[in-house]
Structure 1
Amino acid sequence: MEFISYLRQRWLSADSLVCVGLDPYPEKFPAGFSDQDGIFQFNKAIIDATHDLVCAYKPQFAHFAAVAAEDQLKKTIHYIKSQYPEIPVILDSKRGDIGSTASMYAKEAFVHYQADAVTVNPYMGVDTVAPFTEFTDKGTILLCRTSNPGAAQLQNLDVGGHPLYEEVARLAAQEWNHNNNVMLVVGATAPEEMARIRRICGDMPMLVPGIGAQGGDIAAVLGAGKAADGTGLIINSSRAVLYASSGDDFAEAARAETLSLKNEINLYR
């Protein structure tokens, strides 16, 4: 199944736009997750507690690679695919290179890790994007207007009467989306820019970081970014869910936080 169809099916069946980001900080785990398989076991508990409430999971590559836990990343994705195959997995690795290297990064995401979509930095142009979009059943999610405080320094630069992030959105929607598998990263902390991007890209799905720890406003995000049918957004929360409690009730607390976020989002749909 093509990724966009897969995602839309999950939006409807779960009645949710919530994505839980899997950003492991082993030092924040409760006691009992310090063995060699601790990251996977922590992720598994979070996934089992929240699986019926989400439209996607988003493991963050660097959080695994920095502690030499790539095997646990692969195991985490395999667990989701085997136990909850209806839920898409987005590998957040923000790759950005050209030629044979970009092709290898695409294989890394889609073949080695078996992710359903991957985040990509399009700064080097179509040469960066095309090796990913050639996997026609997978999703390629391009950084467009991100949620970090310094984003405007480059992304809002004027490039001939409009900001750079709008040019990325235009290219994504009009020139790079031949296989209908391109999406955009648009931060929750920039709702005005999100509204402008939505007008450019139509109903193209957006991955939305910046809710929770970064302070994005849910009502503003829905007002600016939802598609006409009330979907169109993959609203990510990572730390606020994963570390809602540092005690033995961490999984229950993660579920409560996810349910609260889902319900608040659905108020504005």
Structure 2
Amino acid sequence: MNYKQIQKAIQAKKSFLCVGLDSDVNKLPASLPKNATGMLAFNKAIIEATLPFAIAYKINTAFYEALGAEGWEVMEKTLEFLPKDVFKIADAKRGDIGNTSKLYAKAFFETLAFDALTIAPYMGEDSVKPFLEYENKWVILLALTSNTGSQDFEMLKLSNERYLYEEVLLKSQEWANHEKMMYVVGATQSEKFQEIRKLAPHHFLLVPGVGTQGGNLEQVIEYGKNEAGGLLINVSRDILFASQANDFAEKANQRAEFWQKQMREKLTSVFQKN
């Protein structure tokens, strides 16, 4: 999906919602087997329940890789459940020297046909460039994450008085524009969104940390939105594990609708201005 297609999807569904398919096999509802078969059935039910409200899905690959070959097969089949008009993110946090990155890019953009991949930027330009060579595919660079450890490096002050995450935002824009690159900015860092928007006014931001992690949705939208919508707000556990009973899909549907309703009013005001 390209920039305009993502914008149109946001407008059509009046939603920023990205459903995180962090399908922990140990947390599957009691009615499903705790194995690859159960995970696939769970994903299918969750996708069908949330599709009216979600414009993107994010697969955290760790939950699948932990199952070995079966887990990779679940990823492939899960992608087949997703229609073409939703944005498909591999949350794999790759980033290595150029030759290795080329193979990671092939794995996620050709073999598995994701639209986007999360990338750690700290090995620099040559580790990111191979992912940018694919047409209509996206790099989502880690900028300011929602975990407490983000303070260890991302918030370091440099000699030019910028924080390290700010340097990542500015330097990476020399590699690609807002039609190829997005940034991960955690919802628990909502006080930073105004400044981030000054540094990256047109880029989409993938925002984890709303829901179970307690990020402030209203502040994220108020300070993080732009003329295209500009946000993919990820909710995982609050939707996936809304119920451990047979009604898990119904409850997931209700939680997805809840989050979409929170986003709808703000989105209306964004697009009325454009």
What do you get for the CA RMSD once the two structures are aligned?
A: 1.4
Match of 1:266 in 2: 264
- Tell me, in whole angstroms, the C-alpha distance in 1 between the residues paired with 2:175 and 2:151: 23
1:77 paired to 2:79: yes
Aligned 8 A contact 1:136 1:179 in 2: no
Equivalences for residues 118-197 of structure 1 within 5 A: 118-159=117-158, 160-173=160-173, 175-178=174-177, 180-197=179-196
Q: Deviations over 1:75-121 (max 9, x none)?
A: 101221xxx22111111101010111000011111011110111110
TM-score (structure 2 length as normaliser): 0.92
Letter in 1 for 2:61: F
Give the CA deviation at 1:31: 2.6
- Residues 1-269 of structure 1 mapped to structure 2, 5 A cutoff: 2-34=1-33, 36-68=36-68, 69-80=71-82, 84-159=83-158, 160-173=160-173, 175-178=174-177, 180-229=179-228, 231-269=229-267
Alignment gaps of 5+ in structure 2: 268-274
Residue 222 of structure 1 deviates from its aligned partner by 1.1
Q: Distance in 1 between matches of 2:178 and 2:140?
A: 13
Paired AA for residue 74 in structure 1: E
Question: How far is 1:3 from its partner?
Answer: 2.6
Runs of 4+ in 1 over 3 A off after TM superposition: none
1:63 to partner: Cα distance: 0.6
Among all aligned residue pairs of Structure 1 and Structure 2, give the percentage whose two residues are the same amino acid: 38
Instruction: Show structure 1 runs of 5+ residues with no match.
Output: none
Q: TM-score, normalised by structure 1?
A: 0.94
What does the per-residue CA deviation read over 1:31-66, in whole Å, with 9 as the maximum and x for residues that have no partner?
A: 332154211110000000111101100011001011
